Structure 1
């Protein structure tokens, strides 16, 4: 009985979130884009006071860099030290 109630609740939550799934995905992508801009801003020539602290994140987000600069409208990597294309 308890298992059926859990499944019913999961179905209810999925039905409620279905119309907003694209909006949530778009918002998450926009947040990621802003975060990546903050991280790479010093290399793009925009002063970043947190550069020292964000430097250690580069190895973890380098894989996302290619998709990010294409979404931002840059055909080639704007940073000479990162060759992804």
Structure 2
């Protein structure tokens, strides 16, 4: 009985989330784009007061940098020190 109730609750939750999946995915992508811009803003010439704190995040963010600059409409990396293309 408990398994059936969990399955019904899970199905109901999926039905409620279905129309909003694209909105959620878009919001997560926009949030990641903003975070990437914050991390690399100093290299792009924008002053970043949090540069020191974002410095240790570069190894994790660099892997996604290529996808980000393509989404932003830049064919090649805008940063001289980072070659991803």
Question: Which TM-score band applies after superposition, normalised by the shorter structure?
Answer: over 0.9
How many aligned residue pairs are there? 85
CA drift at 1:28:
0.4
Runs of 5+ unmatched residues, structure 1: none
Instruction: Give RMSD over aligned pairs.
Output: 0.4
SS at match of 2:65: helix
In the TM superposition, residue 63 of structure 1 has moved relative to its aligned partner by 0.7
Which residue does 2:35 correspond to in 1?
A: 35
2:78 corresponds in structure 1 to 78
* SS class of match (1:42): coil
Q: Runs (4+) of structure 1 moved beyond 2 Å? A: none
- Output the TM-score relative to the length of structure 1: 0.98
Higher helix share: 1
Unmatched tracts of structure 2, length 5 or more: none
TM-score normalised by the chain length of structure 2: 0.98
